[in-house]
Chains A and B, each alone.
Chain A
């Protein structure tokens, strides 16, 4: 079993829609969690970090379920610019373990 698993998608949604996807992790000792977005052939960029049960930043909401060992990301009112691959990264001892990413495509 991979340490971090994500639904690869793609999630193809219209502008204005809400899209949500999960990330499951196997290391119960993971303390903090990060969501990065990655545009094609570019470096990952931090979207948000989660240290407790969840975090919200504008249209983006992350929810952490430690009992079931998953973290979700919800995007409301999707924009064309939200089209990207979203990487989940639980941390432990200053190292991150990355999932392979979930691809989201927002269409006009």
Chain B
């Protein structure tokens, strides 16, 4: 299994509070991703990173920010949590692309179950 950990694994918080989720990898992979998974929607990309300090938005980025100050860590922050952000959050990593441009397999962390009351 790829060396990916997420913390915390479970969190219950109240509306309006800030929350930070951490993804840590030991694979030295360039790309890191944050997804949320909700019933009926599948996995939706929140933000991703293609290197240290290099990040970009995904399809559901509103209300979320990210930071990547080291290759191994990718943080997801909910500045002011809302009930609509209750979800399961998965981090994923992948290797750098080749000159052929083929995408590489994404490997997922165990997930964080977040409940916003």
Known interface pairs A43-B108, A43-B111, A94-B50; A99-B42 also in contact (CB < 8 Å): yes
Kindly name the residue among B33, B42, B44, B108 whose own CB sees the greatest number of chain A CB atoms within 10 A: B42
Main secondary structure of the interface of A (DSSP, over half): loop
* CB closest residue in chain A, given B44: A98
CB of A43 within 8 A of CB of B110, answer yes
Chain A hits for B43, CB < 8 A: 44, 87, 96, 98
Chain B residues with a Cβ under 8 A of chain A: 31, 33, 35, 40-45, 48, 50, 58, 88, 90, 94, 97, 101-111
Distance between A48 CB and nearest chain B CB, rounded to angstroms:
10
Choose from B50, B88, B103 the contact partner of A31 (Cβ within 8 Å).
B103
How many residues on chain A are close to B (CB under 8 Å)?
25
Distance between B4 CB and nearest chain A CB, rounded to angstroms:
9
CB of B108 within 8 A of CB of A94, answer no
Known interface pairs A31-B103, A43-B90, A51-B102; A95-B45 also in contact (CB < 8 Å): yes
CB of A101 within 8 A of CB of B105, answer no
Kindly name the residue among A49, A92, A100, A101 whose own CB sees the greatest number of chain B CB atoms within 10 A: A100
Known interface pairs A31-B101, A94-B103; A101-B42 also in contact (CB < 8 Å): yes
Choose from B41, B102, B105, B111 the contact partner of A46 (Cβ within 8 Å).
B105
Q: Scan A38-52; emit 1 where CB is below 8 A from any B CB, else 0.
A: 000111111001010
Known interface pairs A94-B94, A94-B97; A100-B108 also in contact (CB < 8 Å): no
Known interface pairs A51-B102, A87-B43, A100-B40; A95-B48 also in contact (CB < 8 Å): yes
